[in-house]
Structure 1
């Protein structure tokens, strides 16, 4: 029997989301992660950046508002189940939405300053503030730019690329 997660939101006084948010599992999560994960919290406890948290149903998920993934592999090493595999690749990148302050004429480059991979650069525009431009090939999907964004204009998305 399947449970509609939007009904759970009603109990907590939240409006149901128009669309379920994408849940990001720890790096190296296999396609059958839910079937293999034992919910032991070993990966949550092992994460040095503390971005792996217990999500719905007790399954680990990434919370990029807490920080970034360093891809250190501690979660994979701590996992005793086959839910995380070294053969699995990280296939995420970011998207910068129209809520970006630069698009509204406000000078803000905090995302670019947070990006060690230098995947976010700011392009000068005549008569406007510099606009962010994402180099999706350089983006590692670490999420370092998400938490510091003052307008919450950056979100993690699934891609087809391997990182």
Structure 2
């Protein structure tokens, strides 16, 4: 649904994902809806607490099934806990290697509400918290840099969205892949790992 318009009065719509972002290993939304019983074992076991019950957020057909909520958390790049504990294989078991190339969504950057654009302030939090190099900083004005997204590297982990300081609408938002895709691996030496405690200012 439409949740905001860009501050510079452009007509570019800034949206949250119209579909739920489903966990790595769920393969696609329809399969997940069919196999998930809403037991919430994945929600309870998730170490970063990124999985939330959906309530009616995505309609009756998806009622109470888990989705990835990036409001204040993210999906750990090397974690496969939900795929290990799912009793119905709605989230099928996957390896860490498979997880790192499973693209559950893609980050969309909205320059018009980014603090680098609106306030000409340094930020870069999204880039610092991207484990796959999908979000990186590029030259903007003077010494300022601004985020840029490489979609082929993005896995949809939500690290960028969860850390973005812009409120009430984030300047970078993960849009769901209803059918999961395969991302490219980043350069190994640049892969970043973070603990939950690293997220926040």
**Range into which the TM-score falls when normalised by the shorter chain:** 0.7 to 0.9
Unaligned runs of 5+ in 2: 1-14, 56-62, 184-201
Among 138, 142, 156, the alignment partner of 2:174 is 156
State the partner residue of 2:67: 61
Q: Does residue 122 of the first structure (1) align with residue 137 of the second (2)? A: yes
User: What's the CA shift for 1:128?
Assistant: 6.9
Query: Secondary structure, in 3 states, of the residue corresponding to 2:113?
Result: coil
Alignment correspondent of 2:41: 42
Aligned length: 146
Q: Tell me the TM-score normalised to structure 2 length.
A: 0.64
**Contact 2:122 2:144 (C-alpha < 8 Å) held by counterparts:** yes
- How far, CA to CA, are the matches of 1:20 and 1:150 in structure 2? 19
Tell me which residue corresponds to 2:5.
Answer: none
Q: Does 1:74 align with 2:81?
A: yes
Q: What is the Cα-based RMSD across aligned positions, in Å?
A: 2.5
More helix by share: 2
Matched, 1:24 2:21: yes
Other structure's SS at 1:147 match = helix
Alignment of 1:82-97 (within 5 A): 82-86=89-93, 89-97=102-110
Q: TM-score, normalised by structure 1?
A: 0.77
Q: CA deviation at 1:157?
A: 1.6
Aligned to 1:3: none
Q: Is structure 2 residue 115 aligned with structure 1 residue 101? A: yes
- Asked which structure has the greater CA Rg, the reply is 1
In structure 1, runs of 5+ residues without a counterpart are 1-17
